[in-house]
């Protein structure tokens, strides 16, 4: 039996997509070969890349003057690619709202004067700083944010309105809610949270900002080079791109991002309402900033938390252990988590509370 998998990443994928991939695994598009065996220059594979890009553009309403890239190295490699492509005056402002934005900031410091201009570390990242009150520097090359904080379970409600190019790590929420891409200079996301197996990273970048990477920028990290080569500069992560394309087709069939967002709000609402009405479970995040993708919660004690994780797994609800920085539990309820999975979790939470309160 398939488990309900609440892993933060790599994470659950739509069952219909896995079945489709399984059906055509040995003979992809009539080639007589698996998609894992064909050349990335094969016409059948080039069509996959083109379709994936077109679907992403359609679903996210990406303007034509933005490049859409499929690259490797995970979101963590983009922590370096961002300064290497954009830090022309040697200055960048970072908003630190969790572990990943902190890592991005630290990586930025390797290349220049990267400043943390606002942080929510004072309250263990349980909120997002007021974006209208952040002292961004006049001459910063860009402003970097992480729009959804996977470990701490927060998300931006409003985005900073800045003159400098706005760069966002959207790894754990891409395609989960509508965003106005034109407000951002660059959006990047590792695929393994909400889109595909690990291996591919999406970069969406305004073309007029990527033409002039720093001289020291490795060729592979130059967005311009990736754009000119349509993400086929070298051998790309073919299978992950193929899977991403299948997931994008699936999302389109569901009705697009607006529809998916409505389902996500509904799922998260069920879980948060249940937690809020319980005196046994607690979510520590400031309500306004609660993520609809990652929901951390605790019971009254670390011992009960450990017991919860173990018993939940025995009941087919797996990977609920919270990140080591936070403890407790975390339910990642990405696009591919069915409503029934969230309902099953809530039923289990009720039962566990009855037995242990």
Ligand X SMILES: *Cc1c(COP(=O)(O)O)cnc(C)c1O
Residues that bind ligand X (CB under 6 A): 9, 74-76, 100, 146, 150, 169, 171-172, 190, 193
Taking residue 210's Cβ as centre, other Cβ atoms within 10 Å add up to 22
Cβ proximity to ligand X: between 146 and 195 the closer is 146
> Rounded to whole angstroms, how far apart are CA atoms 58 and 307?
45
Considering beta carbons, is residue 75 or 217 the nearer one to ligand X? 75
Q: Least distance from C-beta 193 to ligand X, angstroms?
A: 6
Long-range contacts, 285-289 (Cβ 8 Å, 24+) = 285/126, 285/127, 285/152, 285/153, 285/154, 286/126, 286/127, 286/154, 288/127, 288/157, 289/126, 289/127, 289/128, 289/154, 289/155, 289/156, 289/157
Q: How many CA atoms lie within 13 A of 78 on its CB side?
A: 29
The strand pair at 317-318 and 4-5 is best described as parallel
Smallest gap from Cβ 293 to ligand X, in A, equals 9
Q: Which is nearer to ligand X, 81 or 146 (CB)?
A: 146
Alpha-carbon span 254 to 257, nearest angstrom? 9
Helix (H) or strand (E) holding 205, with range, is strand 201-206
* Of residues 108 and 349, the one with the C-beta less far from ligand X: 108
User: Rounded to an integer, what distance in angstroms lies between the CA atom of residue 127 and that of residue 111?
Assistant: 28
Closest by CA position to 151, among listed 330, 321, 13, 284: 330
Rounded to the nearest whole angstrom, what is the least distance from the CB of residue 74 to ligand X in the complex? 3
How near is the Cβ of 89 to ligand X at its closest, in Å?
25
Q: How far is the CB of 104 from ligand X (least distance, A)?
A: 8
CB nearer to ligand X: pick between 292 and 349: 292
Among residues 238, 257, 199, 203, the alpha carbon closest in space to that of 80 is found at 203
- Ranked by CB distance to ligand X, the top (closest) residue is 74
Of 190 and 341, nearer to ligand X (C-beta) is 190
């Amino acid at each position: 039996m398939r488990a309900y998998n609440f892993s933060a990443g790599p994470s659950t994928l739509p069952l219909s997509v896995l079945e489709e991939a399984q059906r055509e695994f040995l003979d992809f598009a009539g080639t007589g070969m698996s998609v894992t065996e064909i050349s990335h220059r094969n016409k059948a594979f080039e069509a996959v890349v083109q379709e994936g890009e077109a679907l992403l553009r359609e679903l996210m309403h990406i303007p034509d003057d933005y490049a859409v890239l499929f690259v490797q190295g995970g979101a963590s490699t983009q922590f370096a690619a961002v300064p290497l492509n954009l830090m022309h005056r040697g200055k960048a402002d970072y908003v630190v709202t969790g572990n990943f934005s902190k890592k991005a900031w630290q990586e930025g410091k390797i290349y220049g004067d990267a400043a943390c201009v606002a942080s929510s570390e004072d309250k263990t990242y349980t909120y997002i700083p007021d974006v209208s009150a952040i002292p961004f520097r006049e001459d910063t090359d860009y402003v970097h944010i992480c729009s959804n904080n996977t470990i701490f379970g927060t998300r931006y409600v409003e985005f900073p309105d800045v003159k400098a190019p706005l760069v966002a790590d959207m790894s754990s929420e891409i395609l989960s809610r509508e965003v106005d891409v034109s407000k951002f200079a660059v959006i990047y996301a590792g695929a393994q949270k909400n889109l595909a197996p690990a291996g591919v990273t999406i970069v969406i970048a305004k073309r007029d900002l990527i033409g002039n990477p720093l001289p020291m920028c490795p060729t592979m990290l130059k967005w311009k080079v990736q754009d000119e080569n349509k993400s086929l500069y070298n051998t790309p992560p073919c299978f992950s791109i193929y899977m991403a394309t299948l997931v994008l087709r699936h999302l389109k069939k569901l009705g697009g991002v607006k529809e998916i967002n409505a389902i996500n709000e509904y799922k998260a609402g069920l879980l948060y309402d249940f937690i809020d009405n319980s005196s046994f479970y607690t979510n520590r995040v400031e309500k306004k900033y609660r993520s609809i993708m990652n929901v951390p919660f605790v019971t009254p004690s670390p011992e009960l938390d450990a017991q919860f994780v173990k018993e939940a797994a025995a009941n087919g609800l797996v990977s609920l252990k919270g990140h080591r920085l936070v403890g407790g539990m975390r339910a990642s309820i990405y696009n591919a988590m069915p409503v029934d999975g969230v309902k099953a979790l809530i039923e289990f939470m009720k039962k566990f509370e009855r037995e242990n309160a």
